[in-house]
Amino acid sequence: MKKIHGKSLGGTELVNRIIHALQEALAEAIVVIDLHGLPGAADHFIICQGDNTVHNRACADRVMERLALNGTRPWQHEGLDEGRWILLDYSDVVVHVMLPELRDYYNIEALWAGGVVRRIEHDEALSERSRIP
């Protein structure tokens, strides 16, 4: 993984800005998994998919560009060159942008079934009330 910089946004605001950037890039099947209360470093996983590697890279690029406008950069990232499974680690929030076949195969949603899974519809954002403490 390539290390970048620290982060300045966090929590629900960070999740919503990532969701919005993914929606702008036409990412498909966006899912937010709330990991509060589970062992691990992150509070949320955001998982989505693109049609192909070019689309996946465009989705990841849009997230990084939009968050960089607010001084928020990923702590680490991986997979941008190949574009099959891109991981953006914002410490509190880890973003997975995957090809559909890899997403089906690895089934991250099932691996983290102890978390609260929320499928995001077009133009929807996560409200503070929708998070289970």
- Give the CATH number of the domain where residue 63 resides: 3.30.460.10
- φ and ψ at residue 105, rounded to 5 degrees: -65, -50
Q: What is the end-to-end Cα distance of the chain in Å, rounded?
A: 31
In this structure, is residue 64 part of a structural domain? yes
**Structure tokens, 22:** 């993914």
Task: Evaluate if pTM is beyond 0.75.
Answer: yes
Q: What is the pLDDT of residues 35-54, one digit of tens each?
A: 887 777 789 999 999 999 99
Q: What is the mean pLDDT of residues 3-24?
A: 80
In total, the chain counts a number of residues equal to: 133
Say if residues 43 and 11 touch (Cβ distance below 8 Å). yes
Say if residues 23 and 123 touch (Cβ distance below 8 Å). yes
In this structure, is residue 132 part of a structural domain? no
Overall domain count for the chain = 1
In this structure, is residue 133 part of a structural domain? no
In this structure, is residue 131 part of a structural domain? no
**What domain range includes position 16?**
8-124
- Report strand pairing: 85-89 vs 28-34: unpaired
Q: What is the pLDDT of residues 60-83, one digit of tens each?
A: 999 999 999 989 999 999 999 999
In this structure, is residue 71 part of a structural domain? yes
